[in-house]
Amino acid sequence: MAGLTVVTPPAAEPLALSDVKAYLRVSGSAEDTLISTFIETARVFCENFIGRALITQTLKLSLDSADHGGDPLWEGTRIGPDLNFYKSFISLPNSPVQSVTSVKTFADDDTETTLSTSKYYSDLTREPARIVLRTGETWPTALRVANAIEIVYVAGYGDSASDVPSPLRIGMMQHIAYLYDQRGDMKDYQQAQTMPPAVPNMYQSYKILSGLGGSNLMAIG
């Protein structure tokens, strides 16, 4: 997602190198670096596909305004008044969110202000999680034109591989096996351009929908 950066990456991967090597039936150590790269690649693909963080990591979300949250109200050409939909919340990508570290705003002269925790509620139960203004509170005004709001938070299922749901770990195993097998072999070009159907199928029930009909639009207020 644009505006989302990793402050502190996960300290471990959801799959141990030894487990992946056993799955691939690889006994030697000559390809350990390559397989480790495949593990990271499969994890990043999984996280991007389902919109979640697997292992505990610290993220930073930068927004131009509170209304700039990636919640499209329609698609295609539209005719009508130029409306500004006020939102009392900001959705946080990459669930599950464990905690919110800070919410900061920046004035046009780049002066930084930390929003008091008494002004907002961290809704960590909903997916995606939200920063919701308390009753009677409003977002600060006269902010700079870009990256005016910065939210730092911790996301992920936990610190160890065992915290990650098994279907996601198995899907990653199958993805890695596919990457290991398809290393530039172009004898079947069409096959090399597709993912094994079982992988997205295993990920699908964990995928967080966004946009029209998605959970990001369930609570506009």
Fill in the amino acid letter for 213. Answer: G
Per-run averaged pLDDT (10 residues), the chain, 221 residues = 87 96 95 96 94 97 79 51 66 96 95 96 94 94 92 97 95 93 64 72 88 42 35
**If residue 15 lies in a helix (H) or strand (E), which one and from where to where?**
none
Q: What are the φ/ψ torsions at residue 198 (nearest 5 degrees)?
A: -65, -30
Task: Please enumerate, as own/partner, the contacts of 73-78 that have beta carbons within 8 Å and a separation of 24 or more.
Answer: 73/212, 73/217, 74/212, 75/212
| Residue 176: exposure state from Cβ atoms within 10 A (0-12, 13-18, ≥19) | buried
128: closest CA among 61, 36, 184?
A: 61
Q: What is the pTM of this model?
A: 0.82
Look at the block and give the residue holding tokens 């098994």.
166
